[in-house]
Amino acid sequence: MPTLKKILRHIPALLGVLLLGGAIYVVQREFRHLKIADISKALDAIPRMALVWSFLWTVASYGVLTFYDRLGTIYAGNVVSYARVAFASFCAYALSHNLGFAAVSGAAVRYRLYAHWGLTPLQIGKVVAFCSLTFGLGAMVLGGIVLFHNPKAVPFFGNWLPVPLMYALGGLMWAIVVAYVLLSRLLGSRRVFGHSVELPNWRMALLQVLLATVDVAVTAAIMHALLPPAAGLDYLTFLGVYLASYTAGLAANVPGGLGVFDTALLYGLSPYLAPPQIIGAIVVFRLYYYIIPLFLAGSLFTGNEVLLRGRGFLSQAARLGGLQEVTPDFAVTAATGAVGLCGLLLLCIGVIETPSDFSWIDPDFADVAATASQFIPSLIGAALIVLAIKMAQRVALAWGATIVLLLVAAVFAVVQGEHWWIPSVLAFSALLLLPFRTAFYRRAHLFSGPMQTSTAVPLFFFCVCILALAAFEPHVRWLDNDSWWGVVLSPDVPNSLRASVAFTVGIGAVALARLLHPGKVRPVGWSADSRLRYAALGAMPPAEADGVVWGEAARAAIPYRHVGGVLLGLGDPAGAPSDYASAIWRLRDLATQEGLDPAIWGAGPKLLKIYADLGLSPVRIGPDGTPLDTEHELPASSVHYLVCKAERHLQTLLPLLPELVAHDMASEGITPAYTVSQHSP
């Protein structure tokens, strides 16, 4: 069973890789003759009124989303004014639409804002759960309509699955929605698999379904308004393509469905429109629905934080459900997302034909530039995608390596004679990262201690892969598209060479990831020796624990217990402050290895920023183990928090806190001892 759980835990990542690989294959096979000039013409051909209507549909879409939160606060039993709900909804959805990293989420924004407005942690958790469920209901209603109207409109599946089966799938979608409404009418609040499930009343469930249906329909209209008229492409047919593409983007588990969503749209709409027309519409759609809202929401949220600090409103966070001053770092997250976009751009340079006139530079350098062609940029693109993932985990080496690679790619693009905007985007992304060095505080495994086998092996393979790829390049420079993945997919290259390039790039990417990752965490049991080592750090050992996690330098540690689906750390790290961050992240890594979510009981205010980087939300807890219900101030030594993925576990953990932890008085400068109950959720 543990092995099966480990396998299942990796399925989403594997599915994402497969979908992204499928996207690259489709683009290479179907759209490799795209030209930037054709795309520019398609953008210029979009009528002004189409741009206006698309913008208005975008405003309407985000407007509909505000009612998700409005209904959610009613469902939670604490109605918030519409103006506040609209603000929270816009900031939360602008983030969740764009970002797939755990550093910041829409849930974190909602916890931050709604806590200021008086909602308890349980109530905020209900709002988050309500909003998360609502979109799926609308997608199933419209998906059923599309499958009954035109099953062939669904890309990939519509052409090879029998029509009766597509009808059955549409009926199943409707049945799920009807079942949800009926359960809301019949069940109300019940315990399911040990978890308390409280459904809204049936009237609200109906309104929820209607609202979600309108939301999905309006969002699809943003893109549909940008497309030119085409025979056979009515709105419902387009809706089928859009829903399938959006679902594929969600399943890929990449920010904004980047690459997968776009390629699915390209493939699904290709029978009706020319590729440049589709790409032009996708560019504007992403600008309207993703990019502009992200930066606008980031500016609004930052301004709100400044106002709250200036007016002294942050003291309200001490109330029941209040959260500490932990502001999601929009700028860093946006910069990290930009790195992923740059990586995808460099991967796709081989698809879009670009001029490569090297006559203006020295012949020797021109020969080098011509030789490299798209091979080097595509390798840099693959490396940037790996680095973006590690940047989301706050690895300092990933930050430095990313800036270097972006600048190298920008210089290379200039030498190659690419369109001016390509090196500009690459250089701007590097400059965007420069001010945020302090935000990347986690040491990579490569520099976390003396050279060991676990470091030397991936470093050796990484160097070998670089040398091997340099040796492969002269054999493929004659190809029109000699990017590494173009070589792998080209039928004109011997199979042995194709397999060698694919294997080498794969091994190189894994080796790079291993060098940047701290490595597998090996849990240390809670024994007499562990207690003594932990006590030697100046902390009072907890009465009970299942084990202890040590930082990368073995100078800080966190004891932990297993509580249901949570790996519960018992207090902040003890030991050397320089090793605190790595100990916290290693607790998170151990939780991930075991298929659990991390949480911290007894966290102090000083490390809440690091906990927020893990996507954990803090709730201020009183000495009796329950959330504070007054605004009174406590002595600094007794201020502590429960830090967890509140949208998943807060409703389960809060009722157990008085039993889970018995808070003992501790002497000054010594971490209090906590005793965790044997009970599990």
Q: What is the pLDDT of residues 381-431, one digit of tens each?
A: 888 888 887 887 778 888 889 999 999 988 888 777 667 778 888 888 888
- The average pLDDT across 166-175 equals 90
- The chain-wide mean pLDDT, for the chain, equals 75
**Higher-pLDDT residue of 286, 18:** 286
Helices vs strands, H then E, count in the chain: 25, 10
pLDDT value at residue 316: 41
> How far, in Å, CA of 25 to CA of 491, rounded?
13
SS3 640: strand
Phi, psi (5° rounding) for residue 602?
85, 25
pLDDT value at residue 49: 92
Q: Is the pLDDT of residue 678 over 50?
A: no
pLDDT digits (tens, 9 = 90+) for 223-277: 999 999 888 888 988 998 898 888 887 776 666 676 778 888 888 888 888 888 8
**Higher-pLDDT residue of 194, 656:** 656
Report the range out of 83-97, 100-114, 250-264, 653-667 with the highest average pLDDT: 83-97
Q: Is the pLDDT of residue 597 over 60?
A: yes
Kindly indicate the confidence band of residue 558, based on its pLDDT and cuts at 50, 70 and 90.
very high
pLDDT value at residue 8: 52
> In the Cβ-directed half-sphere of 174, how many Cα atoms lie within 13 Å?
12
Q: Helix 646-653 and helix 121-149: axis angle, to 10°?
A: 130
Q: Is the pLDDT of residue 21 over 80?
A: no
Q: Determine how β-strand 566-570 pairs with β-strand 597-603.
A: parallel
Query: Is residue 160 within 8 Å of 175, Cβ to Cβ?
Result: no
**Higher-pLDDT residue of 20, 560:** 560
pLDDT value at residue 565: 82
pLDDT value at residue 625: 63
% of the chain residues with pLDDT over 70: 71
**Higher-pLDDT residue of 340, 351:** 340
User: Which stretch of 170-179, 614-623, 629-638 has the lowest confidence by average pLDDT?
Assistant: 629-638
pLDDT value at residue 635: 56
- The average pLDDT across 617-622 equals 76
pLDDT digits (tens, 9 = 90+) for 503-548: 888 888 888 887 877 656 777 888 888 888 998 888 888 878 889 9
Hey, what long-range contacts does 51-59 have (CB within 8 A, 24 or more apart)? 51/226, 51/284, 53/225, 54/222, 54/223, 54/225, 54/226, 54/284, 54/285, 54/288, 55/288, 57/218, 57/219, 57/221, 57/222, 57/225, 58/222, 58/288, 58/289, 58/293
Compute CA distances 596 → 133, 519, 634, 645, whole Å: 22, 18, 32, 11
pLDDT value at residue 402: 92
- The average pLDDT across 107-131 equals 78
How many other C-beta atoms can be found within 10 angstroms of the C-beta atom of residue 231?
A: 7
pLDDT value at residue 103: 39
Q: Is 408 exposed, middle or buried (0-12, 13-18, 19+ CB in 10 A)?
A: middle
Domains of the chain: 48-229+276-318 (no CATH), 335-516 (no CATH), 524-660 (3.40.630.30)
pLDDT digits (tens, 9 = 90+) for 171-222: 999 999 999 888 888 776 555 444 456 778 888 889 989 999 999 999 999 9
Q: And the tokens for 436?
A: 């945020």
pTM for this prediction: 0.65
- The average pLDDT across 70-97 equals 86
User: Which stretch of 262-266, 409-413, 440-444, 551-555 has the lowest confidence by average pLDDT?
Assistant: 440-444
pLDDT digits (tens, 9 = 90+) for 448-484: 556 666 667 778 878 888 888 777 777 766 666 667 7
pLDDT value at residue 197: 60
Tokens 């790595």, residue? 582
pLDDT value at residue 36: 60
pLDDT digits (tens, 9 = 90+) for 294-319: 778 877 776 666 565 554 444 444 33
- The average pLDDT across 7-14 equals 53
Provide the b/e sequence for 645-681 (b: ≥16 CB within 10 Å). bbbbbbbbbbebbeebbebeeeeeeebbbbbbeeeeb
Q: Is 139 exposed, middle or buried (0-12, 13-18, 19+ CB in 10 A)?
A: buried
